Amino acid sequence: MAELKVTLCGIEMDNPIIPASGCFGYGYEFAELYDINCLGTFSFKGTTKDPRFGNPTPRIAECTAGMINAVGLQNPGVEKVISEELPKLKQCFHKPVMANVSGFSVEDYAYTCEKLEKEEQVGWLEVNVSCPNVHGGGMSFGTSPEAAAEVTRAVKAVTKKPVIIKLSPNVTDIVSIAKACEEAGADGVSLINTLLGMRIDLRTKRPVIANKMGGFSGSAIFPVAVRMVYQVAHAVKIPVVGMGGVASAEDVIEMMLAGATAVQVGAANLVNPFAARDIVRDLPRAMEKYGISSLSDIIGIA
């Protein structure tokens, strides 16, 4: 019988499948379609200290084998996430959830993580230092080893929960940033967030999205993600959560062979809301096809 269980930063998961932040809301929207408890966990919508309306519209541009988004971290702020979103989430999801946190200063990150530290259902804090869609925050912390390490230390000082730092691919050397986070105390890293992309409307001769540029995701970026996961996983001793263009059970296995302990599914959820569920269901078939009895045995063996 296929063994799908993995352990991420000390927390056992029924399987490695995690819908990615920004592609799964706060869970209860998808719970109207299927029982989301079939998932390993999910990373809820990026949360900031204060409410954010997000970027001006239009925010989405279609691409060949992908999409560009510049939503801009629209969320109600951590206080309302705790008072309104988490109680609704708890009614439909009965496992530890991953809280995705963004900020515009080191103090912002620490404040939001300290608030979420007190929430029993939050299992992991995924600290996003890699959002390419906002000005003056997010990716500005993820392009420097020193800045990423500073955020890591500040968050680790206010929580006992596992801290996973979400890294940007929009850098020359992602390995040095991952190692800096590890040395600063990170319990894990997740990668890759979106690549920076752009589309121009040939009729208007203007950028398609109001923000001009945004995060490029979808199956087109999968080979880049596999390469970066492989590089980072072989350079650090902490767990890696792999993501970027994952759309099938075979993609999950490939990510895990590269070194991922768990695998996030992002843009595929926006194309097919059942994508993550279908991948969980299909994993035993794919494992049998490739002679794999336990997923935890294949992590990083490529």
Annotated active-site residue 131? The verdict is yes
Active-site residue identified among 9, 23, 113, 131: 131
Q: Which of 11, 10, 6 lies closest to 262 in space, CA to CA? A: 6
163-166 vs 188-191, strand pairing mode: parallel
Q: Which own/partner pairs from 86-90 qualify as long-range (CB within 8 Å, at least 24 positions apart)?
A: 86/26, 86/119, 86/121, 86/122, 88/26, 88/28, 89/26, 89/27, 89/28, 89/44, 89/121, 90/121
Q: Taking the CA atoms of the chain, what radius of gyration do you get in angstroms?
A: 18
Asked whether 136 and 73 are in contact (CB, 8 A), the reply is no
Q: Which of 164, 189, 162, 120 lies closest to 10 in space, CA to CA? A: 162
Mind giving me the DSSP string for 236-275? Answer: -SS-EEE-SS--SHHHHHHHHHHT-SEEEE-THHHH-TTH
What CA–CA distance (Å, rounded) separates 163 from 144? 18
Q: Which of 270, 268, 240, 267 lies closest to 255 in space, CA to CA? A: 240
* Amino acid identity at 156: K
Active site residues: 131
